[in-house]
Amino acid sequence: MRNYKFYLMFILSTLILIIFITSSPLLKNKFFLMTHSNWVKVNNFKIIETYTYCSSEPWRRGIDRAAYRYIKYEYSFDKRKYIEENEKLFGVYRINLLDNCEKLKEKNEVLWNEYNKNNYPLYANISNSKILISNDLFKIGTSSFLSILFEIQGVIITLVIVVSCALFYDLIRR
């Protein structure tokens, strides 16, 4: 019985840690800089195009689960010009069933405007580049772990409806 409690607490604390890390751009950036120490910061880059779009990934079952930021940018590295695209710079994920694509896009635009006020850095190496959204803002809606929690929420609601219908049917039958 004691091992059961330990494993349960371990799993819960790990899940909370994952949500916290994936919700904080500052922690994501620290992790990136630790694991990509050979990348160089590029000072001058220009955004060519940016927009927000909705996606039903990862399960593609018809409902929009996230609004992502697409960005196309140009930068110079080692005396050469590069044009890169990032289809998922950051995402805003559904927290409840009432959120729709337009609400997710609005939340993404608000976040982009907050991030855009700061100077976010671009890091590059010879073969690739990455824009880091460096902000101390903690936003639970940016955690990719929410897609799993959203699915769990849907399963729980479905189970409640099925049990309620069964109880209602049993009540009527009597």
Q: What CA–CA distance (Å, rounded) separates 35 from 37?
A: 6
Task: Write the single-letter amino acid at 33.
Answer: L
Q: What CA–CA distance (Å, rounded) separates 172 from 157?
A: 22
pLDDT number for residue 30: 79
Each domain of the chain, given as residue ranges in start order, spans 2-173
pLDDT tens string, the chain, 174 residues long: the values are 568 888 889 988 988 887 777 767 677 777 777 888 788 887 778 888 888 888 776 555 666 677 888 888 888 877 888 888 888 777 777 777 777 888 888 888 887 887 776 567 777 776 777 776 655 555 555 666 666 776 777 788 889 999 999 999 888 987
pLDDT number for residue 161: 94
72-115 pLDDT, tens digit per residue, is 888 887 788 888 888 877 777 777 777 788 888 888 888 788 77
- Single out the residue of 37, 123, 134 nearest to residue 73, CA to CA: 123
Q: What is the pTM of this model?
A: 0.62
Q: Which residues contact 13 (CB under 8 A, 6 or more apart)?
A: none
